Amino acid sequence: MPLIKPTTENIIKCANIIKNNGVVAFPTETVYGLGASALSIKAVKKIFRIKKRPFYDPLIVHIHCLKQLHTIAYCDKKIETFLKKIWPGPLTVVLKKKDIIPDIVTANLDTVAVRLPSNRIALKLIKYSKSPIAAPSANKFSRLSPTKPEHVLKYFKNINVIDGGKTVYGIESTVIKIENDIIYILRHGAVSVEEIKRYWKGKIEEYSGLKKLSPGLIKKHYSPSKKLQIIKSQKEIIQPEISAFISFAEKPLKRYAFFVDLSPSGDLNQAAANLFEYLHMAEENHKVRKIYIKEVPTIGKGKAIMERIKKASVS
């Protein structure tokens, strides 16, 4: 059975798969990950193959404690103190890598992206595997991210998936890099800039140039199998009978083939948590030919939502 209950016994079994260079899908607090030992070239190759991910796109390495961080990357006290404020949690930091991490993990960069997740199943799996776990989101390259175990099985029928239910944040971790006391945001995500500001007194900037450094900045990403359009108003929807409308705090004015509201109360955290699940539902609905999604304000989690739907709407 590919869907596995998260008992300790089962997590140990999955850890053994990882130890034997196998691949396991597991929940994190953001999205489901497709994990393999980050120390094994053979295992990491499998992730790229299964996901159809190009080798130029580096992976995030997941650890279960700070001690493990120092075995794979160089991190000074100031950065560690900052990380401790948010970790365990949905923040990924790009640091200078140690030799123990194979080049395939980092797409030959001299840095490695590291994250200490807060999901207890993920933490146990990493601990029992006795190895940091490299894990991209458990979707096919450029497709919608998985926030439920069923989404993972939609892409990969024969992979073992630990069932942790729907993920809490519903969008990926925020990816940052720190240089000369400046935090650069490489990818907006589950930790908002406002939250980072609370713990970082230095500058925080968008990472605009040097796209190559974070291939995650690839234009088309997170895409449903149907055309997606971002709208300012429902009035832009011309054929409601074959359209999905994913609204944000707004009631439907017409009868749509599919209608959901990311957050009737206008809560951006709730909207982020529902985003991929609703896009999956719209994608799966046979009546729907085109998906329309209402833009959200770019404050808090809204930045991460807009970043994702803009990429998802690239055709």
Q: Does 36 bind ligand TXA (CB under 6 A)?
A: no
Q: Does 237 bind ligand TXA (CB under 6 A)?
A: no
Q: Does 137 bind Mg ion (CB under 5 A)?
A: yes
- Which of these segments, 3-11, 131-139, 177-185, 292-300, binds Mg ion (CB under 5 A)? 131-139
Q: Does 30 bind ligand TXA (CB under 6 A)?
A: yes
Window 88-117: residues binding ligand TXA (CB under 6 A):
90, 92, 94, 106, 109, 111-113, 115
Any alpha helices (H) in 225-295, and if so which ranges?
268-284
Q: How far is the CB of 258 from ligand TXA (least distance, A)?
A: 26
Which listed option, Mg ion, ligand TXA, none, makes contact with residue 187 (CB within 5 to 8 Å by class)? ligand TXA
200: exposed, middle or buried (C-beta count within 10 Å: 0-12, 13-18, 19+)? buried
Give the torsion sign (CA, 36, 39, 43, 48). Answer: positive
Residue of 215, 191, 45, 90 whose CA lies nearest to 142:
215
Contact 264, 200 (CB under 8 A): no
Residue 247 has phi, psi (to 5 degrees) of -95, 165
Which listed option, ligand TXA, Mg ion, none, makes contact with residue 178 (CB within 5 to 8 Å by class)? none
| Residues 120-159 as x/- pattern, contact with ligand TXA by CB under 6 A | ---------------xxx----------------------
Which listed option, ligand TXA, Mg ion, none, makes contact with residue 272 (CB within 5 to 8 Å by class)? none
Among 75, 102, 155, 172, binds ligand TXA (CB under 6 A): 172
Distance of alpha carbon 246 from the chain centroid: 20
| 241 Cβ contact partners less than 8 Å away, ≥ 6 residues apart | 255, 256, 257, 287
Residue of 25, 169, 156 whose CA lies nearest to 90:
169
Residue ranges in contact with ligand TXA by CB under 6 A: 28, 30-31, 33, 57-60, 90, 92, 94, 106, 109, 111-113, 115, 135-137, 172-173, 175, 186-187, 213-216
